[in-house]
Amino acid sequence: MNFNLKGLKIAIIGGSDPCREILDILTGTGLKELDIKVLMVADTLNNTRGVIHAKSLGIPTTTDYTEVCGLFGLDLILKLKNDEILACILEKVNTERVSIIDLDSYRAMSFISFLKTEEEKIRVKKKIGNKEICREDLVLLFDRFSDRMIEISDKKNVYLKTEREDLIEMEKELSQVIQGSMIPTFIINNEHILTHWNRACEELTGHDAYELVGTDRQWVPFRSAKRPTMADIIVGQMSEEDVIKYYGSSWRKSKIIKEAYEAEEFFPHLGERGKWIFFTAAPIKSPDGKIIGAIETLRDQTEDKKAQEEIELQDQELSKLYEKYKTSEEKYRSLFNNNPNPIFIIDQQTLEILDINHRVENDYGYSKIEILGRPFLEMGDIDDETINEGLRGLKTGEAILFTKKRHYKKSKESFFVNMKVVNATYSHRVVLIASATDITESVEKETQLIQAGKLATLGTMAAGMAHEINQPLNVIQICADLMLKMIKKGIAIPDDELVMMARDIIDNVARASGVIKHVRDFARQSERDLKKMNLNDPINDVFKVLGHQLTVHSVKVKLELALDLPEIRAEHNRLEQVFINLVTNAIDAMDEKAENAEKSEGPVEKLLVIKTFTMGKEVIAKVSDTGIGMSEAVKRKIFEPFFTTKETGKGTGLGTSISFGIIKDYGGIIEIESVEGDGACFTIKFPIIE
């Protein structure tokens, strides 16, 4: 870094610590003869050290970056910040007249070293210009200059060493996160060299990481000849024409991740019979926006694809049956019995089973004689009113889909099905035709993921559990100690005091037992069992285990729960997990804001507000806090698995993703309102049971 500073008019964007040090040098006596002028310091935050120091020096400050572009006579912009909006604003700057230096942490240190070197050079030149200086003084002067340069060089080396160690540590942590992910994932760098290939990828493809990492052979598990993976296309910044050349019509731009591509394709070399894989690739960028690599995630869609193909085949065959064999009962019966899915013919009025195909006998274990005439609702949970109401409300020609419903075999073994029911004509009468597809495996995987998130939440609950149990134990201990002391001293305990202490012991044993039971019920892997419930119940239960933590973190809680709230259909255990996640995230956000405020503004109020109310045909819960808030970029990614804004080791990135899935499973939606630096509000809506 070497250029002429004389007479420069400079603006600084970003008021971080390097800004303060640069201001000290530019406005100090060391560079005074260069007549450098700092015209403005700009930052969206007006309480940074650089901005505060600029004000003390009488230098204009602003929170509007566009004001920098309008400065008269500006020669140089020092950019110490990487806001996304800056790139668009600085495009308007005439770079032929104004230079822009992008200073990350290392470059900022180098620039400061350059300024200090210029100070030293000016000081040395002044002394050399003194005609009376002697040879010894000149040698001493150059020795000091040399020592100063060595000192600056040593500081650079120490900084680079620290940066290198930090990068190594970050790489280790990144590798641990990727390796621990249940989603098959691999990463390549900007030279198309594979750097990460996690265990889930090994299990999916059958290729170990040691075979591929460090090479550009990431295509090997998928292709018989070398061809770019989607990650290679991202890194190579290929045109859409090139993408079409390799992926035809199977690819598309991601609607969720900016600049990411996704596709679905069949790979005959995976597994014994090939696999359908849905894959997404997204760029990894440096702070200055350059692509330094790409990450690609894979999802095995084989079973879903087979189920989809079976349903489509079934629909096609049934359609052909209606057109071609509507007068042939024998051919119809053959197709009906050989359908790959269990099919029930149900009386529209009584919901009794009129007929079944052979697949029902195979999958459910009943003979045809045993099952005909039985109520169809007995195949699953009899109390499931959604099925009962859905079937009875089905009109001629209409169809309805029930997802993730529990059915039982003759052996009482349960399994999950997606069930499509059509109101149609069968043997000259109006009936319901129900087709069931076994989805037990996918439901179990989803349950395991939710259970993993629940166990992670238990760590957050630990402090609250200890406090809630210690309180009744202390009461029991005090009562027991008092009894022993009075017995040892031979003092008779009055009956009324003895009864009162016994009741205290009984009440507090029940209280401790209740806490333990509540935590045990929350931790267990519950089976899917949707019931009518009041949304206020899981919200109130959250404070049984988090009440102490809210007190420790000085959080005020304001509950505005509507009375006589209409019922929804959900699972208490899983909704409690959702609200625990929202409350703990709110605590973290308010703590972060408080820590930042202590450095400048002083303490801030921590307020958590939870409201429930009814609007139209929906029950609504709002969870709002006065925390650090979220940027638009964070709001777009908040429900992505493994995305977290917390420090390494303090968050898994699964909580909000799992909560989103649970809410969606119960027919609900979740919305976010947040302004960065000014809190957040999560709104959850569920349909009322009609």
Residue 159 is predicted with a pLDDT of 65
Say if residue 364's pLDDT is above 80.
Answer: yes
Confidence class of residue 186 from pLDDT cuts 50, 70 and 90? very high
Give the span between the Cα atoms of 155 and 536, in whole angstroms.
Answer: 59
Closest CA to 540 of 572, 588, 584: 572
Confidence class of residue 340 from pLDDT cuts 50, 70 and 90? confident
Q: Are residues 16 and 149 in the same domain?
A: yes
The answer to whether position 1 is within a domain reads no
Amino acid at 688: I
Q: Are residues 424 and 472 in the same domain?
A: no
Provide the 10 A C-beta neighbour count for residue 350. 11
Mean pLDDT (whole number) for 203-207: 89
Give the span between the Cα atoms of 363 and 342, in whole angstroms.
Answer: 7
Would you list the DSSP string of 522-550? Answer: HHS-PPP--EEE-THHHHHHHHHHHHHHH
The answer to whether position 176 is within a domain reads no
Closest CA to 659 of 554, 548, 581: 581
Closest CA to 672 of 45, 566, 663, 561: 663
> What percentage of residues in the chain have a pLDDT greater than 90?
19
- Residue 625 and residue 680 in contact, taking contact as beta carbons nearer than 8 Å: yes
| 175-184, 505-514, 646-655, range with greatest mean pLDDT | 175-184
Q: Are residues 82 and 226 in the same domain?
A: no
Provide the 10 A C-beta neighbour count for residue 324. 11
Mean pLDDT (whole number) for 360-380: 90
Residue-number span of the structural domain to which 527 is assigned: 443-687
The two tokens of residue 323 are 């057109």
Say if residue 329's pLDDT is above 60.
Answer: no
The residue with greater pLDDT, 609 or 662, is 609
Angle at the Cα of 528 (from 526 to 529), degrees rounded to 5?
Answer: 105
> Which one of 436, 459, 476 terminates a domain?
436
Bridge-based pairing of strands 399-408 and 414-426 is antiparallel
Count of domains for the chain: 4
Give the span between the Cα atoms of 204 and 470, in whole angstroms.
Answer: 47
Q: Are residues 55 and 145 in the same domain?
A: yes
Torsion of CA 570, 586, 619, 668, to 10 degrees: -50
| 58-72, 417-431, 458-472, 479-493, range with greatest mean pLDDT | 58-72
Mean pLDDT (whole number) for 611-633: 92
What pairs with residue 570 in β-bridges?
531
Say if residue 565's pLDDT is above 90.
Answer: yes
The answer to whether position 29 is within a domain reads yes
Q: Are residues 431 and 472 in the same domain?
A: no
Residue 649 is predicted with a pLDDT of 47
Angle at the Cα of 340 (from 335 to 344), degrees rounded to 5?
Answer: 75
Would you list the DSSP string of 223-291? Answer: -SS----HHHHHHTT--HHHHHHHHTTSEEE-SSSTT-EEEEEEETTSTTT-EEEEEEEEEEE-TTS-E
Closest CA to 11 of 84, 89, 88, 85: 89
Burial class (CB in 10 A: 0-12, 13-18, 19+), 657: buried
Query: What mean pLDDT value characterizes the chain?
Result: 80
The answer to whether position 39 is within a domain reads yes
Closest CA to 606 of 631, 620, 589: 589
Residues with Cβ within 8 Å of 605's Cβ and at least 6 positions away in sequence, in order, are 556, 626
Mean pLDDT (whole number) for 166-188: 74
Q: Are residues 482 and 411 in the same domain?
A: no
Gyration radius (Cα) of the chain, Å: 34
Give the HSE-up count for residue 552: Cα atoms under 13 Å, Cβ half-sphere.
Answer: 13
> In CATH, what number is assigned to the domain containing residue 18?
3.40.50.720
The answer to whether position 166 is within a domain reads no
Closest CA to 535 of 609, 622, 657: 622
The residue with greater pLDDT, 364 or 337, is 364
The answer to whether position 351 is within a domain reads yes
Mean pLDDT (whole number) for 457-464: 52
Residue 508 is predicted with a pLDDT of 64
Q: pTM above the 0.75 mark?
A: no
Q: Are residues 287 and 371 in the same domain?
A: no
Say if residue 169's pLDDT is above 70.
Answer: no
Least confident of 113-117, 241-245, 249-253: 113-117
Give the HSE-up count for residue 474: Cα atoms under 13 Å, Cβ half-sphere.
Answer: 6
The residue with greater pLDDT, 130 or 682, is 682
Give the span between the Cα atoms of 189 and 195, in whole angstroms.
Answer: 7
Burial class (CB in 10 A: 0-12, 13-18, 19+), 633: exposed
> What percentage of residues in the chain have a pLDDT greater than 70?
76
> Which one of 401, 436, 471 terminates a domain?
436
Q: Are residues 428 and 544 in the same domain?
A: no
Residue 648 is predicted with a pLDDT of 47
> In CATH, what number is assigned to the domain containing residue 191?
3.30.450.20
Angle at the Cα of 384 (from 383 to 389), degrees rounded to 5?
Answer: 115
Least confident of 190-194, 234-238, 354-358, 468-472: 468-472
Residue 392 is predicted with a pLDDT of 85
The two tokens of residue 487 are 């017995």
Would you list the DSSP string of 116-176? Answer: HHHHHHHHHHHHHT-TT--HHHHHHHHHHHHHHHHHHHHHHHHHHHHHHHHHHHHHHHHHH
Mean pLDDT (whole number) for 355-377: 90
- Residue 357 and residue 336 in contact, taking contact as beta carbons nearer than 8 Å: yes
Give the span between the Cα atoms of 334 and 358, in whole angstroms.
Answer: 10
Phi/psi zone of residue 616: left (φ > 0), alpha (ψ -120 to 50 degrees), beta? left
Q: Are residues 392 and 530 in the same domain?
A: no
Residues with Cβ within 8 Å of 76's Cβ and at least 6 positions away in sequence, in order, are 8, 9, 10, 11, 98, 99, 100, 101
Residue 111 is predicted with a pLDDT of 83
Residue 460 is predicted with a pLDDT of 54
Least confident of 5-9, 317-321, 480-484, 636-640: 317-321
Q: Are residues 352 and 492 in the same domain?
A: no
The answer to whether position 165 is within a domain reads no
Give the span between the Cα atoms of 228 and 225, in whole angstroms.
Answer: 10
- Residue 431 and residue 425 in contact, taking contact as beta carbons nearer than 8 Å: yes
Burial class (CB in 10 A: 0-12, 13-18, 19+), 654: buried
> Which one of 159, 189, 217 terminates a domain?
159
Q: Are residues 458 and 429 in the same domain?
A: no
Residue indicated by tokens 């493994």 = 642
Give the span between the Cα atoms of 31 and 74, in whole angstroms.
Answer: 19
Mean pLDDT (whole number) for 559-582: 87
Bridge-based pairing of strands 9-13 and 37-42 is parallel
The answer to whether position 459 is within a domain reads yes
Say if residue 168's pLDDT is above 70.
Answer: no
Say if residue 316's pLDDT is above 60.
Answer: yes
Say if residue 366's pLDDT is above 80.
Answer: yes
Give the span between the Cα atoms of 289 and 310, in whole angstroms.
Answer: 46
The residue with greater pLDDT, 563 or 545, is 563
SS3 content of the chain, % helix, strand, coil (to 5): 45, 20, 30
Bridge-based pairing of strands 399-408 and 556-561 is unpaired
Q: Are residues 586 and 660 in the same domain?
A: yes
Closest CA to 181 of 568, 567, 449, 487: 449
Mean pLDDT (whole number) for 163-181: 67
Say if residue 149's pLDDT is above 50.
Answer: yes
